[in-house]
Copies of this chain bind each other. A is one copy, B any other.
């Protein structure tokens, strides 16, 4: 990894205590208690509409729970030193390089430091040839790669990834998985959702399984894949669930 090590984690664990999320009278998440422990790789699984993306957005501090609370170890509601790759990444109406530059400028990095980081990131993610392209005209996979690169360049302590390789080709997927393992080795905490069971098996240290807005399993990955306790999770792994 050419990426500098992050400073030792101080903001973790992130604790969710009895978290619920309602919109317009509909309960989308309910009573979720969960700790995101430092340095672990947590994979959040569940069917479409189970609430995975909502859970990540809650953890990341983008939406506020309507019940319970999410709290970081340092007592803050929304810690810095975290980054997220969205399921549907939003790129700014600027060039690829400018998209990478933007969060660095937000952090007050000098022009020089930014230029170096951008160059390093472009190179690391194979985006060099696309640097001057308008980001919004990239292909689906290129956009997702750029979103990953942008999150990486922010040197987070915790990285939230919402189906980060869904648009990537097999080799890109493999490389990203290797990179995530590398981050993890550096001590970065990773929270990831995926519908790719192979990926989940490869990456997960812990698994949280959501079903209709409820957390029904949260266990070490080995236990979970060996045979989940909840019938819904068993059915999910077997590909049995119907909508």
Interface residues of A (CB under 8 A from B): 23, 46-49, 52-53, 87-88, 125-126, 137-142, 145, 162-163, 166-175, 195, 197, 236, 239-243
- Is A239's CB under 8 angstroms from B170's CB? yes
| Contact (Cβ within 8 A) A195 B175 | no
Interface pairs (14), CB distance under 8 Å:
A47-B141, A48-B140, A48-B167, A48-B169, A53-B139, A141-B195, A169-B195, A169-B236, A169-B241, A170-B236, A171-B236, A171-B240, A171-B241, A173-B195
When distances are taken between beta carbons in the complex, the residues of chain B under 8 Å from A48 are 139-142, 145, 167-169, 172
- The 8 Å CB contact of A53, one of B140, B171, B241, is B140
Contact residues in B for A49 (Cβ distance below 8 Å)? 138-139, 141-142
Nearest B residue to A170 via CB reads B239
**B195, A167: Cβ atoms under 8 Å?**
yes
Which residues does chain B contribute within 8 Å of A46, judged by CB atoms?
169
CA distance A138 to B23 in the complex (A): 12
* CB neighbours of A52 from chain B (8 A): 139
- Chain B, residue nearest A53 (CB): B139
User: Complex Cα distance A204/B139, Å?
Assistant: 23
- Bound complex: CA of A138 vs CA of B49, how far in Å? 8
Determine the distance from Cα of A126 to Cα of B241 in the docked complex, in whole angstroms: 12
Distance between A22 CB and nearest chain B CB, rounded to angstroms? 14
Contacts A49-B138, A49-B142 aside, 12 further interface pairs with beta carbons under 8 A come to A47-B172, A48-B139, A48-B142, A53-B139, A125-B243, A140-B162, A140-B163, A166-B167, A167-B195, A171-B240, A171-B241, A174-B239
Q: When chains A and B are docked, how far (Å) is the Cα of A49 from the Cα of B125?
A: 14
Among A139, A142, A162, A197, chain B packs the most CB atoms within 10 A around the CB of: A139
A236 to B126, CA, bound (A): 16
| A39–B138 alpha-carbon span in the complex (Å) | 32
CB distance from A125 to the nearest CB of B (A): 8
Chain B residue numbers with a CB within 8 Å of A166 are 166-167
In the bound complex, residues from chain B placing their C-beta under 8 Å from that of A88 are 88, 140
